[in-house]
């Protein structure tokens, strides 16, 4: 959806805006700070948010009261998230010095990337291929 965008805010929340109407559609205040978000590439109503509480949350923007799913496994803040081009999984980068891959239909990470030489991971991005 090219007319809708979302931002993480400093008040522990994130907001969804509709450019066509020039209004904030919805806002959610979370328990902890949301650090990053990524839109599902095929399902325009789904968004994943990486949080300070070491979890990633999948939301449907039509109903922000409760997340559709919570993905755990990180030991520290999730700093970035990004959906794969197919939308079947997403990657998360964390302050715990790891990158994790999660299948969207699961709850646990299927792979963890970590080495002794890695430092805190601030950013993760899928390639288009």
Output the tens digit of pLDDT for each of the chain's 129 residues: 678 888 888 888 888 888 898 888 888 888 888 899 999 999 989 999 999 999 999 999 888 889 999 999 999 999 999 999 999 999 999 999 999 999 999 989 999 998 888 888 999 999 887
DSSP state letter for 95? T
- What phi, psi does 70 have (nearest 5°)? -120, 130
Q: Which CATH architecture has domain 35-113?
A: Beta Barrel (2.40)
Task: State the Cα–Cα distance between residues 10 and 82, nearest whole angstrom.
Answer: 20
Question: Which of helix, strand or coil describes residue 62?
Answer: coil
3-state helix, strand, coil in the chain (%, to 5): 0, 45, 55
What pLDDT was estimated at residue 68? 95
**What residue spans define the domains of the chain?**
35-113
DSSP state letter for 64? -
Look at the block and give the residue holding tokens 């300070």.
52
Residues 6+ apart with CB under 8 A from 88: 103, 104, 105
What pLDDT was estimated at residue 95? 94
Cross-strand pairs, 16: 6, 26
Residues 6+ apart with CB under 8 A from 1: 39, 44
What pLDDT was estimated at residue 39? 94
For the entire predicted model, the pTM comes to 0.90
């Amino acid at each position: 959806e090219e007319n809708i965008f979302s931002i993480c805010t400093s008040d522990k929340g994130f907001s969804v805006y509709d450019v066509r109407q020039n209004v904030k559609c919805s806002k959610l205040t979370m328990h902890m700070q949301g650090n990053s978000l990524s839109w599902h590439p095929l399902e325009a109503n789904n968004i994943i948010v990486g949080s300070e509480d070491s979890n990633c949350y999948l939301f449907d923007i039509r109903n922000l009261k409760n997340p559709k799913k919570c993905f755990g496994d990180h030991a520290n803040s999730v700093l970035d998230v990004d959906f794969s081009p197919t939308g079947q999984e997403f990657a998360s980068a964390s302050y715990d010095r790891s990158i994790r891959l999660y299948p969207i239909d699961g709850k646990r990470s299927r792979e963890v990337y970590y080495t002794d030489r890695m430092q805190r991971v601030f950013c993760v991005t899928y390639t288009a291929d």
